[in-house]
Amino acid sequence: MKAVVIGGGIIGLCSAWYLNQTGWDVIITDKTDLSDSCSYGNLGMIVPSHFVPLAAPGIVGQGIRWMFNSKSPFYVKPELSPKLFSWGLRFIRSANARHVAESAKPLLEMNLLSKLLYEELAGKFDFFMESKGILMYFKNEAVAEEEFHLAEKARAMGLDAVYLNKESVQLLEPGIQLDVLGAVHYKSDAHLYPNALMKGLIQQLKAKGVQFLKNHALQTINRKKNRITEIIAGGKSLQADLFVMASGSWLPETLKLAGLNIPIMPGKGYSFTIEQPVQKLQIPAILCEARVAITPMNNKMRYGGTMELGTVQNKVNLNRVRGIVESVPNYFPDLKLDMPNEKDIWYGFRPCSPDGLPYIGFSSSVDNLLVAGGHAMMGLSLGPATGKLIAELANGNSTSVNLTAFDPNRFS
């Protein structure tokens, strides 16, 4: 049996990995040379703690307030776009307590599965995985109360989450001065070095016989009734029994070639990496009020954040990066960062669904098309779980996680 995976990010590579493991002959095609994507520049966090989807109560009002601040962590670019308008209406309808409650269990199960699978992968090649958890830092009482209640929910769902005052957190980070009220330590979380993970996965897949077609953009999808018979990518004709669409923020465009419509908006994020930092955190950090993340990885420190929703555009917004830089000393006074040079700033486009949940499953109208996308900021965290689920679906097996919440046809 032959499968073609469209997209060579973490979701596409993991889909190829588990398909290959179960006997499929796999080809991966990508419009780039596979050297850069959201899978490389992210913060490398594996986050069972993140069981609340992006579409949550309060985010709409907060987003509107942040729209008038050029350094804010969340921004919707005002533009006359029917696609953005339609996506926004669905997002607003999804941002409610019921949706959050219904999403918690499937998101948690996905993340826990991924962590187990990452531990298995770490036995095959090294990508600097560490299971130290993450620290959610807060500075004001209102956020402290929110994090306390979230930690209670996490514990009720079986996660090891500990609410810490400033003195207790300081014991975990003895080399860094803190200016915080406290933090929640999610001990169930982990982190890794994405660059090593991606390069290692590609090398392993090649060794297992998976074929890569770099710089082969998807051009045409030919269908006969309810099946794809052929795709044209980079001028090359490819036939297969199964096609997996894992094209990230370009998922709407690639699926449109098959006559399908799935709502996704790209959420632009930024990061920069400090080599051999003088001071280094021991445990990955999320600065709650600032929505900034910091991860120590492979003798480096990576800083990242912002969610800039709008059409894809390849310009670095230095004010967004400045917002990241200026927020860090508010929590860690000793970590005074210089503004990075523009050439050292990485950016990527996170594929965001309107309800904050990924799309995983078969298309209802194309029998041999599986969709894997829309993971927003959790693409790396959910990569192996998604890949395993794709392989289970392809082989007609029962899935490790109930996929009802992730139905790719839910907005049809």
- 59 in a structural domain: yes
Vertex 343 angle, CA 341 and 346, to 5°: 100
172-194: average pLDDT: 97
Provide CB contacts within 8 A for 180, sequence distance 6+. Answer: 137, 138, 139, 166, 169, 331
State whether 185 and 280 are in the same domain: yes
Residue type, 209: G
Indicate if 271 and 252 belong to the same structural domain. Answer: no
pLDDT of residue 68: 59
Give the lowest-confidence range in 242-256, 310-324, 392-406.
310-324
Q: Which amino acid is at 269?
A: G
What's the whole-number mean pLDDT along residues 13-20? Answer: 98
Give dist(CA 226, CA 183) in Å, integer.
Answer: 52
Residues 185 and 202 in one domain: no
Q: Would you give the distance in Å from CA 124 to the centre of its chain?
A: 23
Tell me what the mean pLDDT of segment 127-140 comes to: 98
Q: Structure tokens of 354?
A: 């309107």
| Residue-by-residue DSSP string for 274-302 | EES-SS--SS-EEETTTTEEEEEETTEEE
pLDDT digits (tens, 9 = 90+) for 303-344: 999 888 877 788 888 988 999 999 999 999 999 899 999 999
The answer to whether position 411 is within a domain reads no
Q: Look at the chain and count its residues.
A: 412
Say whether both 67 and 107 belong to one domain. yes
- Closest to 135 (Cα-Cα) out of 72, 178, 197, 195: 178
Q: How many structural domains are present in the chain?
A: 2
Q: Is the pLDDT of residue 227 over 90?
A: yes
For residue 359, the model assigns a pLDDT of 98
Round the average pLDDT of the chain to a whole number and report it: 93
Which tens digit of pLDDT belongs to each residue from 49-62? 999 988 777 776 66
Tell me the pLDDT tens digit for each residue of 370-380: 999 999 999 99
Residues 68 and 185 reside in one and the same domain: yes
Structure tokens at 262: 């799935």
Specify if 412 maps to a domain: no
Closest CA to 373 of 386, 385, 358, 390: 358
- Same-domain status, 64 and 204: no
Note down the domain range covering 246. 2-39+196-262+356-406
- Does 139 lie in the same domain as 234? no
User: pLDDT digit string (tens) for 335-348?
Assistant: 989 999 999 999 99
Give pLDDT, residue 54.
82
pLDDT for res 212: 98
The pLDDT value given to residue 57: 76
The sign of the torsion formed by the CA atoms of 174, 327, 88, 253 equals negative
pLDDT at residue 163 in the model: 96
Please report, for the domain that includes residue 57, its CATH number: 3.30.9.10
Final residue belonging to a domain, choices 352, 372, 397: 352
Query: Is the confidence at residue 46, as pLDDT, over 70?
Result: yes
- Is residue 197's pLDDT more than 90? yes
- Per DSSP, 165 falls in state E
Q: Output DSSP code: residue 353.
A: -
And the tokens for 24?
């499929």
pLDDT of residue 384: 98
Are 210 and 183 in the same domain? no
